[in-house]
Amino acid sequence: MSVGLLLITHHPLGADLLRVATGIFGTCPTRVEALEVENDAPCDLMLAQAEQMAGRLDAGDGVLVLTDIYGATPARLAGALLARRPHLRVLAGVNLPMVVRALNYAALELDVVTEKALAGGRDGVCICPEPDVEE
């Protein structure tokens, strides 16, 4: 078994991140879905969708939810989902390195996958060195 992955993001970020990440792997190594929030979507319907998705994704090892901006509607939905499902973890500030790490380590325990994804997201943000310019 493996940890399921649910992206709850502003539209169209989640599907785009998954498309790129699965392109890197050539296939999707775990169960994964994206719930993309439209600005005018009713929150109660979105939460019901998120709950259904989390139920499909959890094969017994839990679900890691990745969301974009902490405090925004997608993150608030993820927080509401967390309150309803104890075998779930939520990380905000999703980026491509975070998604790749979560997919790469999905076979590990939920807390380990969460830490690996967090490290990937954090370590994936850096100032790039200036190139050496030869004259």
What is the rounded distance in angstroms from the CA atom of residue 44 to the CA atom of residue 35? Answer: 14
Q: Tokens in use for 18?
A: 């998954």
Which residues are CB-neighbours of 43 under 8 A, at least 6 positions away? Answer: 73, 76, 77
For residue 99, the 8-state DSSP code is H
Q: Are 14 and 36 in contact (CB under 8 A)?
A: yes
The pLDDT of 25-43, averaged and rounded, is: 91
Residue 40's pLDDT is what?
84
Tell me: the pLDDT tens digits for 63-110? 999 999 999 999 999 999 999 998 999 999 999 999 999 999 999 999
Q: Where are the alpha helices (DSSP H) in 40-131?
A: 43-57, 73-84, 96-104, 110-123
List, in sequence order, every residue forming a beta bridge with 4; answer none if it has no partner.
63
For residue 92, the 8-state DSSP code is E
Report the amino acid identity of residue 8.
Answer: I
Tell me: the pLDDT tens digits for 4-22? 999 999 999 999 999 999 9
- pLDDT grade for 112, boundaries at 50, 70 and 90: very high
Backbone angles phi, psi at 67, to 5 degrees: -130, 170
Q: Are 99 and 32 in contact (CB under 8 A)?
A: no
- Residue 135 above 70 pLDDT? no
Quick check: helix, strand or coil at residue 124? coil
